Chain A
């Protein structure tokens, strides 16, 4: 039985900015145009870099984040603020799912 070697942190960077950041140990998202999602317990989620709303129900909010989507499932969900690229979702969040 052959042992599979698991390499951690060796995935190829997608952009030159990520390459640069990895070279200097800069945390991902500090440089470049990555989406930042800030969760405040399971009551509030602030999505910075939101490109649009795909689905909007009180149990599911699905947002376009450029290179994929992020879905917030829960109950009594609604968007308290939505402007150029920021969406603040409040309610009871049960799960966050990425689809890239």
Chain B
């Protein structure tokens, strides 16, 4: 009977003794007057019993009729606890403030958790929710879950449905994503055409009709392997041409670097600015602003565990000053830079091609160095070209 014990503790009760010739009389008066007593124990000269505080006041009136004396042994319960601390006003105010703050803070959303998203980014969902009005610090009473889930599915692409559950101060957003079905173009009829000029070295055709011979020159866009396959009986079918056509190709790449360049570099000056974020309110912990060009690095910290986090974030931004200077490089330095840049372009443009030969030509101008390179490569020049079939007459 834990509830009964809690009830008695909240109301307060007294343990008292009944002294007299017939203490049973007082107990009978309890019964008549509707007073409830418990733990009534007979001792040698008296009876011990417990009753609620409010009943004890009433008991004083009926005590006279029974001709006995009573004496309180012990007082228990919340009212006596409060009375003990009633002189300590600050303590009482503190307790009141504690409950008020707990009650007030519980009426806001503290955490937002996104579940069920695999390929949709959590940040994009949080951003959409922010726009719709659900963010850390939103009043729980103001959240219309049915409206939000509909709007969220409309606002963020590839959400099949969404559910918003509020559990205490935590909003859990369950997302179900659309299943992405990959378009199957691999079976669409297509030809293989040349992506650049070259001389055919060999062909490895898996599906389709090869229309070029080895050691013949081809131009960019020329048909190499046809996707229209003709059979001996005169019939034909459209197929997805597959294969490799290796050819010798020529490429020319060039780059130009000026002797005079603007170089941006970071200095040793670093300004640190911190911001305390309470729910959605940013409290700056600094004075003044950072002016000029700078690189910004942001780091933030907040307490979190597996289930929840506190909506109090401490963000620190480090502003590193950067300056732009005009610098003049020597011919040797500029040539080296141009060569390095050419290698980058080479990797990007030629990709998987095998470079058979490379001829570099360095031209030094008045204000710049130009590096030109001629390449002879061996590469697969076949690229797919979808066959457009018109069904209209």
- A residues at B contact (CB < 8 Å): 50-58, 77-85
Q: How far is the CA of A99 from the CA of B181 in the complex (A)?
A: 90
Q: Which of B27, B31, B47 contacts A85 (CB 8 A)?
A: B31
| A60, chain B: closest CB distance, angstroms | 10
- Taking A55-B24, A77-B42, A83-B34 as given, write out 12 further A-B residue pairs in contact, using a Cβ cutoff of 8 Å, ordered by the A residue number: A50-B31, A51-B31, A53-B24, A54-B24, A56-B27, A56-B40, A78-B41, A79-B37, A79-B40, A82-B30, A82-B37, A83-B30
Contact B42 A58 (CB under 8 A): yes
Inter-chain CA distance A51–B41, complex, in Å, is 19
Chain B residue nearest in CB terms to A79: B40
Minimum Cβ distance to chain B for residue A31 (Å): 24
Residues in A with CB closer than 8 Å to B28 are: 52-53
B38 lies within 8 A of chain A by Cβ: yes
Enumerate B1-43 residues with CB–CB distance to A below 8 Å.
23-24, 27-28, 30-31, 34-42
The chain B residue sitting closest to A51, CB to CB, is B31
The answer to whether B36 touches A82, judged by C-beta atoms less than 8 angstroms apart, is: yes
> Of B24, B37, B39, B42, which one neighbours A83 at CB under 8 angstroms?
B37
Cβ–Cβ contact B36 & A81, under 8 A? yes
A84 to B23, CA, bound (A): 17
Which residue on B lies nearest to A84, using beta carbons?
A: B34
Asked if B27 contacts A53 (CB within 8 A), the reply is: yes
A41 to B47, CA, bound (A): 26
CB interface residues, B 31-76, toward A, < 8 Å: 31, 34-42, 47
A-B contact pairs, 22 of them (CB 8 A): A50-B31, A51-B31, A52-B28, A56-B23, A56-B24, A56-B40, A56-B42, A58-B42, A77-B42, A78-B40, A78-B42, A80-B39, A81-B36, A81-B37, A82-B31, A82-B36, A82-B37, A82-B38, A83-B31, A83-B34, A84-B34, A84-B36
Q: Which of B23, B28, B35, B42 has the most CB of A within 10 A?
A: B42
Distance A84 CA – B36 CA, assembled complex (angstroms): 7
Select one of B23, B40, B42 contacting A82, CB under 8 A.
B40
Interface of B, helix, strand, loop or mixed by DSSP: mixed
B residues near A77, Cβ cutoff 8 Å: 42
Number of interface residues of B (CB under 8 A): 16
Which residues from chain B contact A51 at a C-beta distance below 8 Å?
A: 31
Closest beta carbon of chain A to B33's beta carbon, Å = 9
Which residue of chain B has its CB nearest to the CB of A57?
B42
* Inter-chain contacts of A54 with B (CB < 8 A): 24
Q: How far is the CA of A51 from the CA of B34 in the complex (A)?
A: 12
User: How far does the Cβ of B41 sit from chain A's closest Cβ, in whole Å?
Assistant: 5
Question: Shortest distance in angstroms between B4's beta carbon and chain A's nearest beta carbon?
Answer: 10
In the complex, how many angstroms separate the beta carbon of A82 from the nearest chain B beta carbon?
5
- A81-B38 CB under 8 A given contacts A50-B31, A56-B24: yes
What is the chain B residue whose CB lies nearest that of A53?
B24
Residue from B23, B38, B40 with most neighbouring chain A CB atoms (10 Å):
B40
Complex Cα distance, B41 from A79, in Å, reads 7
| Distance in angstroms between the alpha carbons of A83 and B29 in the assembled complex | 10
Q: Which 9 residue pairs of A and B lie closest in terms of their CB atoms, listed nearest first?
A: A83-B36, A79-B40, A52-B28, A53-B24, A78-B41, A82-B37, A81-B38, A56-B24, A58-B42
Report chain A residues within 8 Å CB of B34. 83-84
Contacts A50-B31, A85-B31 given; does A56 touch B47 at CB 8 Å: yes
Question: Chain B's nearest CB lies how many Å from the CB of A88?
Answer: 9
Smallest Cβ-Cβ distance to A59: which chain B residue:
B42
B residues within 8 A CB of A55? 24
Please, which residues of chain B bring their CB within 8 A of the CB of A56?
A: 23-24, 27, 40, 42, 47
* A80 cross-chain contacts in B, Cβ below 8 A: 38-40
Tell me the smallest distance from the CB of A38 to a CB of chain B, in Å.
17
What residues of A have a CB within 8 angstroms of the CB of B41 in the complex?
78
Contacts of A50 in B (CB 8 A): 31
A15 to chain B, nearest CB (A): 24
Residues from chain A with a CB closer than 8 A to the CB of B38 are: 80-82
A81–B27 alpha-carbon span in the complex (Å): 11
By beta carbon, the residue of chain B nearest A62 is B24
Q: How far is the CA of A77 from the CA of B42 in the complex (A)?
A: 8
Residues in B whose Cβ lies below 8 Å from that of A78: 39-42
A53 and B22 alpha carbons, distance in the complex (Å): 10
Residue of B nearest to A85 (CB): B31
**Nearest chain B CB to A92 CB, angstrom units:** 15
